[in-house]
Amino acid sequence: MRVSGLAALREATARWGLPHASTADLVARQRQQQKLVERCGPPVTMPTRHGEFIAHTYRPPSRGSLCVGQEHIALVKNRPPAGATAPLVRVHSECCTGDVFGSLRCDCGPQLEKALQAIELDGCGVLLYLRGQEGRGIGLGAKMHAYALQEQGVDTLDANLQLGLPADSREYGTGAQILADLGIRDMRLMSNNPKKFSGLAGFGLRIVERVPSHVAPNPNNIKYLRTKEERMGHLLDLADKIDPGGVGGDAI
């Protein structure tokens, strides 16, 4: 029986004890070794209603004086003493509609607030705010197109696909390099998304504990949350929660 070229390659390398790597492996290795960000300002005190943090800003490596790409910010609460429990970390994707305007279509704003509160209460941790990841990476305009489809009954995953866009195009190499620059190697990660675990771990960071980031659903986002749980593998606990009934009933 004839085998494919890839299968034949794997068979040959296994027979002769030779290493092999796929194109995806090589791209991943290059991303791990490539410098994705650099600091772009001094650390400054950032008082918030949740407590006082130190803000660190990052950007893609500059080309002369030109900054190309998105700038990101990390809010740091203290440094863990030697031998202490790994710090609490939240890697938060930018969501203008939820974080700024308080949209009820998603749970992004409440998750951001909850993370800052939890880090302040814990006394140590990092809130990393990654910009350029609006709508799971599709951008604000495309997100509005997806919302329009959702108002016709399409769920958040299929809306992206019908637009010819990925269900989730975010990558976490930038976030991983920022955390490493801040001295974070081990962490307790606040997230419901398993993709973040593998995305960060692929860059040499160690997640010692997953800390759930559950917030109460509302009639406008319950369908969206159910889609994330049932179709995208998010670790939510939506049994016996309210049924959809809000405008659109879904979100990005």
Domains along the chain with CATH numbers = 27-231 (3.40.50.10990)
Band of residue 3 on the pLDDT scale cut at 50, 70, 90:
very low
Instruction: Tell me the pLDDT tens digit for each residue of 35-62.
Output: 899 999 899 999 999 999 999 999 998 7
Which pLDDT value is given to residue 118? 97
Instruction: Tell me the pLDDT tens digit for each residue of 155-205.
Output: 999 999 999 999 999 999 999 999 999 999 999 999 999 888 888 988 889
Q: For the stretch 128-157, what's the b/e string if a residue is b when 16 or more beta carbons lie within 10 angstroms of its beta carbon?
A: bbbbebbbbbbeeebbebbbebbeeebbbb
Band of residue 249 on the pLDDT scale cut at 50, 70, 90:
very low
Question: To which residue do tokens 């930018």 refer?
Answer: 94
In whole numbers, what is the pLDDT of the chain averaged over residues? 86
pLDDT at residue 237 above 80?
Answer: yes
Question: One of 90, 105, 170, 188 is an active-site residue; which one?
Answer: 170
Question: One of 99, 155, 168, 250 is an active-site residue; which one?
Answer: 168
Query: Is 240 a residue of the active site?
Result: no
Q: Report CA-CA distances (Å) from 55 to 132, 182, 221, 246.
A: 18, 11, 31, 37
Query: Is 2 a residue of the active site?
Result: no
Band of residue 65 on the pLDDT scale cut at 50, 70, 90:
low
pLDDT at residue 25 above 60?
Answer: no
